[in-house]
Amino acid sequence: MIRKAVVAGSFYPKTREEIINFIERNITIKTERYNALSIMVPHAGYIFSGKTALSVYNSINIPDEVIIIGPNHTGLGAPLSIIAEGVWETPMGKVQIDSELAENIISNSKFLKADALAHLNEHSIEVQLPMLQYFKRDFKFVPIVMGNYSIQFINDLSNAIIKASEDRVLVIASSDMSHYVSRREAKELDFLAFEKIKNLDSLGLMDVVYEYDISMCGSGPMAVAINYSKERGAKEAILLDYTDSGEVTNDTSSVVSYAGFVII
């Protein structure tokens, strides 16, 4: 299948030239880059969270194989869904799905289903691709959408990815942080989650998100990324950037916040 871009022109620019212009206006030259095991990047409109996402992509070496795990905002499809074949198309060109890796992940999971429905209108994965395409000319990827954040599902997907992949695979957790609270409240809540992320504590992350009702939409994907990274010998999680929508709207009474992490 060819999964066409559905949020080009809304979440991010609609042409290749506009995307490149946005990226090159918002990056600085990096002389050293991390060999990351996983990263966390936001998925809001580029005008709000693009600089934060770029701060991460511009700081890592991107391998030939990437797994992107995003939340299911639409509620469609299976609770844990993957597209296992075909290509995704953005204004930057087409990206091939790594069918072999996708099938290996499916075969090691009890819950993951090959199901395109959850992906048809989901933006959390699509918005990552143009940035990846800018920094890496040729790569394959596996798109996974999570609609169930139970520990059972998190552990199942973590173990499936660990068994199916090697350490050359980069796991990308697509997540925004707090939604529609004041800047002060967002910072207080987000840094409770950041403490768990920095400690590489996936269970602690899910506990604190639940206990304090933190509206971090990709906590499940991030928990999977932490589990994968720990199995691959991760030593630390580094917060590269943190901001919120109030930087653009000048309204700090109700913001969505964004963070960029790299796990090495």
The 3-state DSSP class for residue 169 equals strand
Residue type present at position 56 = V
Which conformational region is residue 180 in: left (phi greater than 0), alpha (psi within -120 to 50 degrees), or beta? Answer: left
- Per-residue model confidence as pLDDT tens digits over 22-65: 999 999 887 789 999 999 999 999 999 999 999 999 999 999 99
Could you tell me how many residues make up the chain? 264
Kindly give, in sequence order, each residue whose CB lies less than 8 Å from that of residue 156, ignoring residues fewer than 6 positions away. Answer: 80, 109, 110, 111, 112
The Cα–Cα gap between 54 and 143 comes to: 20
pLDDT score for 98 = 98
Candidates 78, 61, 80; CA nearest to 70 is 80
- Per-residue model confidence as pLDDT tens digits over 132-191: 999 999 999 999 999 999 999 999 999 999 999 987 899 999 999 999 999 999 999 999
The 3-state DSSP class for residue 40 equals strand
pLDDT score for 80 = 98
Contacts 24+ apart (CB under 8 A), 247-250: 248/47, 248/48
Kindly give, in sequence order, each residue whose CB lies less than 8 Å from that of residue 262, ignoring residues fewer than 6 positions away. Answer: 34, 36, 39, 56, 59, 60, 237, 238, 240
Compute the C-alpha angle 245/143/160, nearest 5°.
115
Tally Cβ neighbours within 10 Å of residue 253.
12
- Per-residue model confidence as pLDDT tens digits over 73-128: 999 999 999 999 999 999 999 999 999 999 999 999 999 999 999 999 999 999 99
Residue type present at position 198 = K
β-pairing, 80-82 vs 2-3, is: unpaired
Average pLDDT of the segment spanning 257-264? 98
Per-residue tokens: 124:
């959390």
- pLDDT over threshold 90, residue 196: yes
Candidates 168, 119, 159, 112; CA nearest to 143 is 119
